[in-house]
Amino acid sequence: MLERVVRLNADYARAIDDDRLEDWPGFFTEKCLYKITSADNHRRGLEAGVIYADTNGMLRDRVAALREANVYERQTYRHLVGLPALVGPINEDGEVRAETPFLVVRIMRNGTMDLFATGRYLDALVDDGGALRLRERVVVCDSGRFDTLLAIPL
């Protein structure tokens, strides 16, 4: 299982960093939760997210907006994703929980590189017709500050 989670994380990071955002919703189940929040908000049980999507359609909608509607400076990410820790028992329906640290460098079109975000992915994963998919990915950022805007998903 650990190997499957590692592979999913590697594919997930490459899809985003290679600007294949259209592939990103495919890493999630149809009914899902993707949320970006801060460690402080997470600890205090505050529900709102900087990005909050509770259906796969909302993920696809965000990609469509980034491609067709939103105005933002051209930028790319480089994800460094650490090793996942499998946490908690496997549920009756085969759901696995994993926690994985990440670091994201943002590269702007003028070459500026910033350490944009660090944190951990809190995941619930299930086998979805033979593929391991995210039923839930809560992106808990260590800092509560984001530099101007968060366009591309973490």
Which backbone phi and psi does 52 adopt, to 5 degrees?
Answer: -140, 115
Q: Which of 69, 89, 92, 129 forms a contact with other proteins (CB under 8 A)? A: 69
Structure tokens belonging to residue 93: 């329906």
Please say which residue, 5 or 152, places its beta carbon nearer to other proteins: 152
- Cβ–Cβ < 8 Å for 135, 95: yes
Q: CA–CA separation, 34 vs 25, rounded Å?
A: 10
Task: Give the nearest distance from C-beta 6 to other proteins in angstroms.
Answer: 27
**Rounded to 5°, angle at Cα 36 from 14 and 45:** 145
Q: CA–CA separation, 79 vs 24, rounded Å?
A: 14
Considering only residues 37 to 56 of the shown chain, the ones binding other proteins according to CB under 8 A are: 47-54
Task: Give the nearest distance from C-beta 53 to other proteins in angstroms.
Answer: 8
Please say which residue, 19 or 47, places its beta carbon nearer to other proteins: 47
Q: Does 150 bind other proteins (CB under 8 A)?
A: yes
Three-class SS state of 105? strand
Stated length of the chain:
154
Task: Give the nearest distance from C-beta 101 to other proteins in angstroms.
Answer: 21
Q: Which of 18, 73, 114, 142 forms a contact with other proteins (CB under 8 A)? A: 73
Q: For binding to other proteins (CB under 8 A), which residues are involved?
A: 36, 47-54, 58, 62, 65, 69-73, 145-146, 148-151
